[in-house]
Amino acid sequence: MAALNGTDSKALDRGAMIGGPLAGGRFLDVVGSRHWIAVTILLLIALAAFLPGFSSLQPMDRDEPRFAQATKQMLESGDFIDIRFQDEARHKKPVGIYWLQGAVVASAEALGVPQARTTIALYRIPSLVGALATVLLTYWVSLALGLARREAFLAGAFMACSVLLGVEARFAKTDAVLTACSVAVMGGLALAFLRPQQRFSLLGTIAFWGTVALAILVKGPITPMIAGLATVILCIHQRSGRWLMALRPGLGVLLVALVVAPWFIAISVKSGGTFFSEAIGNDMLGKVASGQEKHGAPPGFYLLAFFGTFWPAAVLTAIAVPFVWRSRREPWVVFCLAWILPSWLVFEAVPTKLPHYVLPLYAAIAALTVRAIFAGAVGPHRPLAKSATVLIPLIPLGLGLGLSYFGLTYDGVLPYAAIPGFVLTVAVATVAWLLFLRGKVVGSALVSLVAALAFSVSVFGLAQPLLRALKLSPRLAEAVAAVGCEKPAVVTAGYREPSLVFLVGTDLAMADGVSAAHFMNAPGCRVALIEARERDGFTQASAALGLSPTLVTSVPGFNINGGRRLVVDVYAVGRD
């Protein structure tokens, strides 16, 4: 640990800054002077990264609107135990995220926010808070690992500007909150491992184990698995588990049981035990056995995806690997490797793969990367570093071109307002790359953070609102509202995305074209949303019934999940 503190660390810092931009060095000097300065700037960076598009981004099918709709139904029904999506029980995840989202939406309603229950941004607030907490906790855990304050700041900034955390901050799902819980738990574990003589206070014990309990209520066994695998490796390395006594595990396990047991008992009784068979047997073990919901991928998926999901720092991480290997006997590096490797291998081995599964491991990766940078172990002198770091400008260039092509292909127009932002992002990222080539690695890292913020504004703040083809469900909900009935009965045929249920209403009926015609042949104002593949069945059945529904409009769009262009016709009857 001595090498990470005192004069040795400062010497390494000076070595890493040789050739770096003077303004960058002064900036880090200011940041490193006080904790409150570092925390304030990290919060500002994180908000700048997370807020663009936070409200304008449509509910992203399928997971996000499933969570939001289930929370909405929880508030509608008043049943805070058995969570449902329409008539289907949501027995795949525990209740924590629904309670957090419900608390925000209910508070917004109490404060008079209009249409709070269909405002997706309100459901995203727990994720935003979780992402902000992840950034600050990365700073804290880096300090706990022994990094200097300026190093811990850069680790937190890398997390704030990473693509994956930015995405999860905008989605009303479990993963940003889970990541915050996981980083907090691993930070507590780091303190116990690196400073075993310092027994946790009562408040510290409650905070640590309370976070474990929250993580279980949010996403079941994931955080305990990450911490548990790391603990096993560390105990083997130490040939002892005595260091765990600093965590006061007896009191802690009791606290966790007191927090999580009431809901698990209640849902077990109410569901007749089917919650556990569904959550464990079908969801968790199903993901282990095969790739669920078309999310299967071979081992190595997360390694390849990492270069996009942890941009702009990912390529620096790759260059830092030899330094980590040389430092593998240092206790803090041992801890980080125990945090990362076992869980990463488990996630790679499981057939079902989604990029966010490994997000709780990124804080340790950020700490290792930053330490390597300040140790002078990351630079153009490393093998392949000059060519590999071209990814810093290439990734935003590729995405900018891709989004522009999408807009031109599916909306018939380029996202003109976003193009200057794309150009600026690529230009700043190119400057970061050129600084790296000149050996100004810390300066390059700081400039790449600016590129990441410009990237966030360009993609989420400027381009995304213009891509109307992606907003099929919001446009259909607007079409239903424009029919003019106060509370029309609505059926959809062929297009069944959860976002449509969230925006149109819990009572949205789902049918094929023929059944939709019979639905329309009933009293009252009724609206049918008929996807083109169901059009013939609907029109033929309507004619057979003597029904002449009015074609109100046709809404073209693109379904992300099917990867298909769609056209949905909006029909109405009984509007008079």
What CATH number is attached to the domain comprising 551?
A: 3.30.110
Same domain, 324 and 390: no
Within a domain: residue 66? no
Within a domain: residue 78? no
Same domain, 351 and 458: no
Nearest to 134 by CA among 124, 145, 126: 126
Q: What is the pLDDT of residues 342-375, one digit of tens each?
A: 999 999 999 989 999 999 999 999 999 999 999 9
Q: What is the pLDDT of residue 276?
A: 84
Within a domain: residue 65? no
Same domain, 450 and 540: no
Count of residues for the chain? 576
Mean pLDDT of 390-397: 97
Share of the chain above pLDDT 90, in %: 87
Q: What is the pLDDT of residues 171-204, one digit of tens each?
A: 999 999 999 999 999 999 999 999 999 999 999 9
Region of 439 (left: φ > 0; alpha: ψ -120 to 50; beta: rest) is left
Confidence of residue 65 (pLDDT cuts 50, 70, 90): very high
- Would strands 550-559 and 88-89 be described as parallel, antiparallel, or unpaired? unpaired
Q: Is 428 exposed, middle or buried (0-12, 13-18, 19+ CB in 10 A)?
A: buried
Q: What is the pLDDT of residues 10-46, one digit of tens each?
A: 434 444 443 444 557 789 989 999 999 999 999 999 9
Q: Is 423 exposed, middle or buried (0-12, 13-18, 19+ CB in 10 A)?
A: middle
Same domain, 207 and 283: yes
Between the two ends of the chain, the Cα-to-Cα distance in Å is: 78
Q: What is the pLDDT of residues 316-326, one digit of tens each?
A: 999 999 999 99
Question: Is residue 520 within 8 Å of residue 491, measured between CB atoms?
Answer: yes
Looking at this protein, which amino acid is placed at residue 117? R
Q: pTM for this structure?
A: 0.94
Within a domain: residue 483? yes
Tally of domains in the chain: 3
Using the predicted structure, report yes or no on whether residue 405 has a pLDDT greater than 70: yes
Same domain, 315 and 444: no
Bridge partners (DSSP) listed for residue 180: none
| Domain hosting residue 439, numbered range | 385-468
Looking at this protein, which amino acid is placed at residue 336? C
Same domain, 518 and 454: no
Same domain, 320 and 179: yes
Using the predicted structure, report yes or no on whether residue 235 has a pLDDT greater than 60: yes
Mean pLDDT of 96-100: 98
Q: What is the pLDDT of residues 495-545, one digit of tens each?
A: 999 999 999 999 999 999 999 999 999 999 999 999 999 999 999 999 999
Within a domain: residue 189? yes
Nearest to 376 by CA among 13, 16, 10: 16
User: Half-sphere exposure of residue 571, counting CA atoms within 13 Å on the CB side?
Assistant: 24
Q: What is the pLDDT of residue 259?
A: 98
Q: What is the pLDDT of residue 280?
A: 78
Query: In the structure encoding, which two tokens stand for residue 474, read together?
Result: 């919001």
Within a domain: residue 86? no
Within a domain: residue 67? no
Q: What is the pLDDT of residues 452-497, one digit of tens each?
A: 999 999 999 999 999 999 999 999 999 999 998 989 999 999 999 9
Q: Is 240 exposed, middle or buried (0-12, 13-18, 19+ CB in 10 A)?
A: exposed
Bridge partners (DSSP) listed for residue 567: 556
Q: What is the pLDDT of residues 123-157, one digit of tens each?
A: 999 999 999 999 999 999 999 999 999 999 999 99
How many CB atoms are closer than 10 A to CB 203?
8
| Separation CA 445–CA 370 (nearest Å) | 9
Same domain, 313 and 214: yes
**What's the mean per-residue pLDDT of the chain?**
93
DSSP 513-569: HHHHHHHHSSSS-EEEEEEGGGHHHHHHHHHHTT---EEEEEEEEEETTTTEEEEEE
Confidence of residue 102 (pLDDT cuts 50, 70, 90): very high
Chain centroid to Cα 410, Å, comes to: 26
Q: Which of 412, 438, 468 is the last residue of a domain?
A: 468
Mean pLDDT of 384-410: 96
Q: Which of 374, 400, 429 is the last residue of a domain?
A: 374
Q: What is the pLDDT of residue 284?
A: 67
Q: What is the pLDDT of residues 423-437, one digit of tens each?
A: 999 999 999 999 999
Same domain, 201 and 131: yes
Within a domain: residue 97? no
Same domain, 516 and 411: no
Same domain, 123 and 261: yes
Question: Is residue 147 within 8 Å of residue 367, measured between CB atoms?
Answer: yes
Same domain, 435 and 518: no
Q: Which of 434, 468, 502 is the last residue of a domain?
A: 468
Nearest to 19 by CA among 429, 320, 316, 381: 381
